Amino acid sequence: MSGNYAEIFAELQELNPRVDEGCVLNPEGEVLFTEGGWDLTDDGKQFLQTWLAHGPRLEIQGTGYSVLRSEPEQLVSSNVIKKESVVGSITRDANYFIAHLAAASSDQVGRDYLDVARAAAKMQ
């Protein structure tokens, strides 16, 4: 486990208060770090499989998210009814940083993804 995940996540939350939960998964889908009460222990492996297979829909803790963009290095998904999003990016050590975003417009989600990707790039 990295020593800087918590510090970088705290910095991200200061920069972008819409980021309310976060998690780092290893390539096998195991949780390395979690913050904000978000537990992806049961969903991590399936989450990564869907992301990497460019699946059209993700489910986390019983909530579905439509995948808007799925590339090996980035993920953007949204729940239209709840108006919340989940975005992801790869860390420097080839793990997966996933962030839950509170309600925002679809334009804002794209900007929020950039904040998450910058944070992921600092994680090691």
Q: What is the secondary structure of the chain as a DSSP string?
A: --SSHHHHHHHHHHH-TTEEEEEEE-TTS-EEEEESS---TTTHHHHHHHHHTT-SEEEETTEEEEEEEEETTEEEEEETTTTEEEEEEE-TTS-EEEEEE-S--HHHHHHHHHHHHHHHHH--
| pLDDT the model gives residue 63 | 92
pLDDT tens series, the chain, 124 aa: 446 899 999 999 999 988 999 999 999 999 999 998 888 999 999 999 999 999 999 999 899 999 999 999 999 999 988 888 999 999 999 999 999 998 765 667 667 888 888 899 999 7
Containing structural domain, residue 99: 5-122
pLDDT at 104: 64
Total number of domains in the chain? 1
The CATH number of the domain where 42 resides is what? 3.30.450.30
pLDDT at 107: 63
